[in-house]
Amino acid sequence: MAAKKDNELKTVENPAETGSTVTYANEVIATIAGMAVGDVEGVAGMLPTPGAKGGGKNKNVTRGVKVEVGPEEVSCEIYVTIEYGRPIQKVATEVQENVRRSLETMTGLHVVRVDVHVQGVSFEKENTALTEGAQKARLTGKSEGTKRLEQAADAEA
């Protein structure tokens, strides 16, 4: 399949009624795929696709999605970061399955492939937890370790 421009429309024949067609903009396909990626637990975010240009109403949703649409089929490339501690292979497989299911259900197009490019691992949740712990320690004047030592001493007494 040849790559299509982001704003190019793709016409798909509707076999149920002769002479009728359904037209999909590539951005519509990318939006469906992007929303499907966002529904998968363990995906920290999506990164811009290589060579991506800004623009479009749904640029945040479609930011890490590149699509190619053929007469009856579609293929996607998804660029993501995964949350630290999550099994990368499992999350990537769930992304593939969710994107495939969403596109086939919503458009009726056959999904030829969904390539997931894991571009990084996000430590944001872990850093947030550490930051929250440090803030609590500053507020109470005691670290979690100090509190545990005091509790252990109290238990022994």
pLDDT digits (tens, 9 = 90+) for 15-38: 555 678 888 889 999 999 999 999
What is the phi/psi pair of residue 140, to 5°?
-90, -15
Statement to judge: residues 62 and 102 lie in one domain? yes
57 vs 141, higher pLDDT = 141
Q: Is residue 149 part of a domain?
A: yes
Helices (H), 1-143: 26-38, 59-62, 88-107, 124-140
Q: Is 118 helix (H, G, I), strand (E, B) or coil?
A: strand
Same-domain status, 19 and 80: yes
Task: Give 88: exposed, middle or buried? Use CB within 10 Å, 0-12, 13-18, 19+.
Answer: middle
Query: Do 82 and 117 share a domain, yes or no?
Result: yes
* Residue-level pLDDT at 149: 60
Q: Same domain for 73 and 144?
A: no
Quote the CA–CA distance of 154 and 157 in Å, as a whole number. 5
> Based on the structure, what is the number of domains in the chain?
2
Closest CA to 94 of 30, 32, 38: 38
Locate 3 and state its tokens. 């790559």
134 and 116 within one domain: no
Question: For residue 118, what are the domain limits?
Answer: 9-122
Q: Please write down the HEC assignment for all residues of 65-87.
A: EEEEECCCEEEEEEEEEEECCCC
Task: State the pairing for strand pair 110-122/73-83.
Answer: parallel
Do 98 and 132 lie in one domain? The reply is no
Asked whether residue 44 carries a pLDDT value surpassing 70, the answer given is yes
Express each pLDDT in 73-132 by its tens digit.
999 999 999 999 999 999 999 999 999 999 999 999 999 999 999 999 998 765 555 555
- Which pTM value belongs to this model? 0.68
Task: Please tell me whether residues 129 and 118 are part of one structural domain.
Answer: no
Give me the pLDDT at residue 153, please: 65
pLDDT band (50, 70, 90) for residue 134: low
Q: Is residue 21 part of a domain?
A: yes
Whether 49 and 112 share a structural domain: yes
